[in-house]
Structure 1
Amino acid sequence: MSEPNRTTTSTPKDTATSGADAESVTPILQARGLVKRYGHVTAIDGADFDLMPGEVLAVIGDNGAGKSSLIKALTGALVPDRGEIRLNGEAIRFSGPQQAREHGIETVYQDLAVAASMDIASNMFLGRELRRTGPLGSVLRMLDKKRMREEAAAHMAELKIGLRSLTQTVDTLSGGQRQAVAVARAVAWARSVVVMDEPTAALGVKESGQVLDLIRQVRDRGLPVILISHNMPHVFEIADRIHVHRMGKREALIKPSDYSMAEVVAIMTGALTVGSDGGKATVADAEAARAAGLPTT
């Protein structure tokens, strides 16, 4: 590949844009009024989205809230019926996932999409294999395995991922190590955004911690991260902001430091509601709020 061409903007966590300052900064990825219907079923109902430079944005929502459809629209896997998507301030319409990847948006799926029988370096370059120079590559189409191993090793070292050998097959790795390979592959090719779909699902405590450290390193390198997760402790540990999705659209965009975990869950379920300014939550469903152990007055 040699080193992928990056155009990201680095914004440390402690200076991440928010509030009034965020209004003067162009979002890396933005959507307005997205709509997607399947017959009488509305999967996305006028959804908005904003991902700022250098942040980890957690996207949460109950099952059936439409967050998966939203992410698919943002990554080209789904074409919305209406609405606008902007990347770095420019309107864009993805016709498929490959076009999103060409614009620097990489996704780490929950099932990882790794080839278990292939080695680590081959997985890093899966679908983007490097060929040898000269007739060996152009005519005989021989792969440059040495170069791929060297570049894969450099990416692993950059993210401080320690593996015994890049020639070992992925099926010999633990769940956390496989996740690390998938993350490293996404980061190696991403120029704009890395999307992580439930990256700690089915992982133990130690491996989950390692994945969260990887997310921090990705953010600290200047790549904003969209984190889809049901794990609220992980969301509160790693996210700079939280996008709460409910009934096909954004219910709230808040900072985890402003709310308790119980309050965020209550917003997600409709017990509490938040204004567009992300201010103080108010009770929308007193019975549901009491069930969550929250005051209703």
Structure 2
Amino acid sequence: MSEAVQPLLEVQNLSKHFGAVRALSDFSMQIRPGEVVALAGDNGAGKTTLIKAISGVYKPTAGEIRLKGEPVSFSTPQEARDKGIETIYQDLALADNLTIGGNIFLGREPMRRILGVLPVLDRPKMAQAARETMALLDFHVSRMEAPVSNFSGGQRQAVAIGRAVYWNAQILIMDEPTAALGVPEQRKVISLIHQLKAQGRGVIFISHNLQDIFAVSDRIVVLRRGVTAGERKISETTHDEVVKLMVGG
């Protein structure tokens, strides 16, 4: 990918301290359109602190975040979402009793008026959005009106990604998206991420599964004790080298 393409996201010298604990120190990274950057590191390496700083959960102690070249500062995750940064956590935050459309519009439901007076949920619009979004991800479920509790792990992951896509997320932060899934379901999620890449979105992919990281990522950034232990192009590194960076070998 051309170095001249303006990054979607730049993190420059970001630090986050909790009292005397330096959870993240002087961290920098870039993500360009259509690029998947993996974040790897043991528990306590600083991955969660980093994504919470990018997504508006934590205010950084120092450093800068830029979106398409413009400095940004978020006080809440909603502010980050409004600017096109969506975080999909491992627990997905889906409402099990609702349909795909219900989950896409959760908290932002479209309304229409009956007889010009009575406001009711615009269910046809929700169903149409669900169909179009799932088609965009090349993900087809036959039961659009079924509650998502009926769906498999991979299908649920697709609904969470679909919600982000519908609201036009340009950067998707995916926290362990293949954890607790069987191999066929993992492949579905990897396929979904390839779709996001093809649409020119940027993805931060956090995983302990090196096989998945190598299957989907362009670059990998390894964190250790809050600092960058190394950054490699996937095409120019090996599993062994990444593990050595993680453990400090």
Determine if the TM-score, normalized by the shorter chain, exceeds 0.5: yes
Amino acid at match of 1:50: Q
Q: Specify which of 110, 118, 121 is matched with residue 90 of structure 2.
A: 110
Q: Which residue of 1 aligns with 2:212?
A: 234
Q: Which residue of 1 aligns with 2:123?
A: 145
Does the 8 A contact of 1:101 with 1:190 survive in 2? no
Pair 1:33 & 2:18 matched: no
Structure number with greater Rg is 1
Does the 8 A contact of 1:36 with 1:43 survive in 2? yes
Q: Specify which of 181, 185, 189 is matched with residue 159 of structure 2.
A: 181
Match runs of 1:147-166 below 5 Å: 147-166=125-144
Structure-2 change in CA distance of 1:141 and 1:245 (3 Å): farther
Match runs of 1:240-251 below 5 Å: 240-251=218-229
Q: Which has the higher strand share?
A: 2
What is the rounded CA distance, in whole Å, between the counterparts of 1:224 and 1:163 in structure 2?
25
1:26 positional shift: 2.2
Match runs of 1:218-233 below 5 Å: 218-233=196-211
What is the rounded CA distance, in whole Å, between the counterparts of 2:20 and 2:169 in structure 1?
37
Q: Which residue of 2 aligns with 1:282?
A: none
Structure-2 change in CA distance of 1:25 and 1:160 (3 Å): closer
| Bigger relative CO (Cα 8 Å, ≥ 6 apart) | 2
Aligned residues: 249
TM-score normalized with structure 1 length? 0.81
Alignment gaps of 5+ in structure 2: none
1:51 positional shift: 1.0
1:197 positional shift: 0.8
What do residues 250-281 of structure 1 show as CA deviations (whole Å, max 9, x unaligned)?
A: 2222111111101111011111xxxxxxxxxx
1:63 positional shift: 0.8
Q: Which residue of 1 aligns with 2:194?
A: 216
1:173 positional shift: 0.9
Identical residues among aligned pairs (%): 47
What do residues 193-217 of structure 1 show as CA deviations (whole Å, max 9, x unaligned)?
A: 1111111000000000001000000
Over 2 Å off, 4+ runs: 133-136
Q: Which residue of 1 aligns with 2:77?
A: 97
What is the rounded CA distance, in whole Å, between the counterparts of 2:118 and 2:224 in structure 1?
53
Match runs of 1:270-281 below 5 Å: 270-271=248-249
Does the 8 A contact of 2:39 with 2:222 survive in 1? yes
Amino acid at match of 2:96: A
Structure-2 change in CA distance of 1:150 and 1:40 (3 Å): same
TM-score normalized with structure 2 length? 0.96
What do residues 62-86 of structure 1 show as CA deviations (whole Å, max 9, x unaligned)?
A: 1100011001111111111111111
Alignment gaps of 5+ in structure 1: 1-15, 272-297
What is the rounded CA distance, in whole Å, between the counterparts of 1:135 and 1:252 in structure 2?
62
What do residues 150-205 of structure 1 show as CA deviations (whole Å, max 9, x unaligned)?
A: 11111111211111221100111111111111111111113421111111000000
What is the rounded CA distance, in whole Å, between the counterparts of 2:143 and 2:202 in structure 1?
29
